[in-house]
Structure 1
C-alpha cells in the first residue's frame, strides 16, 4: 500500500507510473473529501488523484462518495471537469446526485450507496446478563472545532464538546449501562483530527468510562461496534458500521453528507448539523436510546435501498472492467 504524499504525487516514478501500470482507476475520494469544505491542500490532493489518470489516459471511475459541496472557484470548475472526464461517477446519496447534476450535467452519473455497508464483520458473542453497552464515537475533529483552530468551523447549531460531555454524564449515571469511548479515525500525525487523542483526554476527565482500543482495520472497528446495544457517532463510517450491523445509532452531523446519506434511507434519527441546539441534541439522543427498539426497526426498513445500491454499483463496475479489458 502506497502512502500518498507530496513526494509520491510529484515523482514521475510515483503516482503517475502506478496509474499508467493499471487498466482502470477507482477513486473513492476518501468518501467525503471531494468538496471544498476542508483545506485547500486537501482539495489539491483530491483533485490531483483524479487529474493525473485523466491526463494519462487511464479510465477513471469515481466510486461511491459525497459530491460537494462546492461553493467557490476554482474548486467548482475543477470538480466539474473531473466529473465530465471520468468514465462514471457514483454518488452515494440523493443530495450528492443533485449537486452532480448541476455541477456536471453531462457526466455519466449514477446514484448508489456507500460501499461501507458491505464491509464484512464478526459479531461478538455477548454473555448472559451482560450490561447495556453504549458506544460514544468521539470525533477528534469536532472536539478541536475543525482544522483551522476555530471553535466551530462548520457552523454547528450545537456545541459538540459540551454535548459530548453531557452525554457522558447522562449515560454514566444510568444503572446497568456501560459507556465506551470509541475512536474511529486514528491520525496521530494530525492531532486535531485524531479520535484517539480526544478519547484519551475524555478518559482522563471521566475515568469511569471505558476506552475502546484503537482499531487495526475497518472490519475490526465494525466488529466491535456490532457488539454494542447503541451508538452515538460523529464519524460517518462509524455510524454506517452500526447501521449496517443493525445496531441502533444516532449520527451526529457536521456536514450535509450525513443528511444526504441518511435522508436517502429515510432514517430520522440524525442530529442535524444546524437544526438543533445543544440541549435539544442531547435530549434527542437520550430519547433515541430509550426508543432503541423503534430505532432498530427504522434501520431494517432501509435494507432494500442498501441492497439495491450495492447491486447496481457491482453491476456497473463489472461493465467498466469488461470495457477496460478490451
Structure 2
C-alpha cells in the first residue's frame, strides 16, 4: 500500500510537524509495510526527519505522478481548510482532495480543524471536497458543527483528538542545558496584528509573574522564523524594565523533543496551539491566549478554564496566570484523568485514516 499525505509540512511550523510525526509513528505501528510520501515545503528535511519519501508541495508534475501511484490520499491534520491566514489555503487543500478523487483515489480527512470559512466560495469548495472523502475525522466539536452548516453529512464526521496527543516524548537533546530544577513558566507566543504595545504588555506580564511566583520564565519559539524575533524583543523589554530576564529558546528539534521540553514546565502560557496540546498531553497546567477559534476549541476539549483574549489588557492575563499557578496541583490531577482518553482518540484517528 502507498499513501500520499498532505498538510503544512516542511514549513518550519512545529505544530504541523507534530501532526506528521504522530501520523508516521502510528502508521509504523498499525501498518509498518505501508509506503508514505509527504507533500513538503522542504522535501529533503522531511525525508531526513521521518525516514519517508517527500516531494515539493507545489510541483504539479510530482503530485500527479505520486497520486497516480498511490492507493490512498490523506489530507491533514491541522487547520488546512480555513481562509483566515490566506485566500489560497482552501483552494490548495480542497483542490488536492478533488484531484485525488478525479484520479480515482480514496481520500481520508485526518483529524482536521475546519474553519473559519468566511467567504461563500471557501464554504462551497470545502463542502465539495469533504463530501467526496471516504473518511472524515475532526479534532473539535466546532468543526463538526461547521460541516453541518455547510451541508456535509456524508461521510458522517467522527470526532477525534489532535494527532499530537498520540506523540511520544523524546530526549530533549540540546534543550536540556536550560531546563532548570526550580519552577518554570514557559510562554509560547506568536506575532499577531492589532493593538500597539502588545510586546511591552507581555514583558510586564513576565515581570509580574516571575516576581510573584519566583519562577524562571522561558520564551519558546515554536516557529523560529516568525516567533524568534518577537521573543527577543520581549526579552529586551524585560531587561530594559528591570524585570526578570527570560530565556529565549528556539525549538528546532523534533516534535517529540519539544513535547519533552514542555513536560518540564510548571505552567505554560500559550498562543501556539500545539504548546497547549503538548501541555495537556504532558499534564502541565496552561493559560490559553485566544487569538483564533482553534485555541478556544482546544481549551474546551481539555477543560481549560484559563482562557484570555489576545486583546485583553496585561492585567487580565497576569490574573489568569497567577490563578492557574495557584491551582496548578489540582489542574494537573484533572489533566491526568483526561489525557489517556485524548491519546486514545488521537490513535483512533490514524486507524480511521487508513481504513478506506
TM over 0.5: yes
User: 1:282 aligned to 2:318?
Assistant: yes
Contact residue 243 and residue 299 of structure 1 kept, 8 A: yes
User: 1:64 aligned to 2:107?
Assistant: no
Partner of residue 204 from structure 2, selected from 163, 166, 171:
166
Post-superposition CA distance 1:207-235 (Å, at most 9, x none): 42111233222111111111111110100
Q: Tell me which residue corresponds to 1:200.
A: 232
**1:104-115 paired onto structure 2 within 5 Å:** 104-108=151-155, 109-115=157-163
What CA distance in whole angstroms lies between the structure 1 residues aligned with 2:130 and 2:39?
25
**1:85-104 paired onto structure 2 within 5 Å:** 85-104=132-151
Which aligned segments of 4 or more residues in structure 1 are displaced greater than 3 angstroms?
A: 1-5, 7-12, 122-126, 158-163
Q: What displacement does 1:311 show? A: 4.7
What CA distance in whole angstroms lies between the structure 1 residues aligned with 2:290 and 2:325?
17
Q: Tell me which residue corresponds to 1:13.
A: 61
Q: Which is worse superposed, 295-304 or 194-203?
A: 295-304
What CA distance in whole angstroms lies between the structure 2 residues aligned with 1:203 and 1:14?
44
Q: What displacement does 1:182 show? A: 0.8
Contact residue 94 and residue 261 of structure 1 kept, 8 A: no
Q: Tell me which residue corresponds to 1:132.
A: 183
Contact residue 252 and residue 273 of structure 1 kept, 8 A: yes
- CA separation of 1:281 and 1:174: change in aligned 2, threshold 3 A: closer
Contact residue 172 and residue 209 of structure 1 kept, 8 A: no
- CA separation of 1:224 and 1:9: change in aligned 2, threshold 3 A: closer
What are the ranges of 5 or more consecutive residues in structure 2 without an aligned counterpart?
1-37, 43-54, 240-244
Q: What is the aligned residue count?
A: 297
Q: Tell me which residue corresponds to 1:43.
A: 90
- CA separation of 1:40 and 1:95: change in aligned 2, threshold 3 A: same
Partner of residue 260 from structure 1, selected from 284, 292, 297:
297
Post-superposition CA distance 1:56-91 (Å, at most 9, x none): 222111100111121212110000001101111111
Q: Tell me which residue corresponds to 1:25.
A: 73
- CA separation of 1:72 and 1:307: change in aligned 2, threshold 3 A: same
Q: Which is worse superposed, 86-95 or 279-288?
A: 279-288
What CA distance in whole angstroms lies between the structure 2 residues aligned with 1:282 and 1:111?
34
Q: TM-score, normalised by structure 2?
A: 0.75
- CA separation of 1:290 and 1:243: change in aligned 2, threshold 3 A: same
Partner of residue 3 from structure 1, selected from 40, 43, 48:
40
Aligned to 1:316, the other structure's residue is in SS state: helix
More strand by share: 2
Post-superposition CA distance 1:94-127 (Å, at most 9, x none): 111111122233321111110101111047799x
Q: What displacement does 1:163 show? A: 4.0
What CA distance in whole angstroms lies between the structure 1 residues aligned with 2:57 and 2:350?
29
What CA distance in whole angstroms lies between the structure 2 residues aligned with 1:297 and 1:112?
22
RMSD: 2.8
Aligned to 1:20, the other structure's residue is in SS state: helix
Q: Tell me which residue corresponds to 1:176.
A: 214
Post-superposition CA distance 1:32-61 (Å, at most 9, x none): 231122211333333333232122222111
What CA distance in whole angstroms lies between the structure 2 residues aligned with 1:226 and 1:15?
38
What CA distance in whole angstroms lies between the structure 1 residues aligned with 2:309 and 2:253?
30
- CA separation of 1:278 and 1:43: change in aligned 2, threshold 3 A: farther
Q: Tell me which residue corresponds to 2:223.
A: 185
Contact residue 286 and residue 306 of structure 2 kept, 8 A: yes
Q: What displacement does 1:291 show? A: 1.6
Q: What displacement does 1:300 show? A: 2.2
Aligned to 2:144, the other structure's residue is in SS state: helix
